[in-house]
Amino acid sequence: MKSLVQGYIRVMDGLAEWIGRFAMCLIYVMIAVLLFDVFSDKALGKVQNWTLETAQFTLAAFYFLAGPKTLKDEGHVRLDLIYSHLSPRGRAIIDSITIWIVIFYLGVLLWGGISSLHYSWITNQRLPSLWAPSLVPIKVLMNVCIALMILQCIAIFFRDVLRIREGDAR
């Protein structure tokens, strides 16, 4: 059972790492789109309808995709008044309890996200602009990333349980 749990942790950490690296590349895509917008407007005198919304969608994709890696790397905000004074085992105990609050929050977020995706799908919801892109792709990505964050939280829980049982130092 321990090797199965360790395998799950390795798979989720590897997936989070790969997705995080992909997300980093999206910043360059966003910069290229915005540079094209400026060049098109200033040099060619042609205003593009799609560039600003594409940049916004790219930024949204970036921060959705960065979620699992942020959790894996513990790059999130934490109140350290008491936590920093605990032993590694004590931290693992606290983390193994509080991660369920995060999972609950993400579960509620996923539930709302699926509802919002369903609405966008059946109504063909679009942004009210000249370009009028569909909101379905970004909502699909949002839901997939929330699900990946839940799976990463479960990996974090398993890692903490292993630390508690083995007494590993962080």
pTM, 2 dp: 0.86
Closest CA to 93 of 30, 34, 159, 149: 159
pLDDT tier, 150 (very low <50, low <70, confident <90, very high otherwise): very high
Helices (H), ranges, 43-87: 51-72
Please report the pLDDT score of residue 170 as a whole number. Answer: 43
Q: Would you state the pLDDT for residue 15?
A: 95
If one counts every other C-beta atom within 10 angstroms of the C-beta of residue 64, the result is 20
Higher per-residue pLDDT: 1 or 153: 153
Count of beta carbons in the 10 Å neighbourhood of residue 74: 10
Q: Is the pLDDT of residue 42 over 70?
A: yes
Total residues found in the chain within this entry: 170
SS3 126: strand
Q: What is the pLDDT of residues 77-131, one digit of tens each?
A: 777 778 788 888 988 999 999 999 999 999 999 999 999 999 999 999 998 888 8
- In the chain, where the domains are located: 2-166
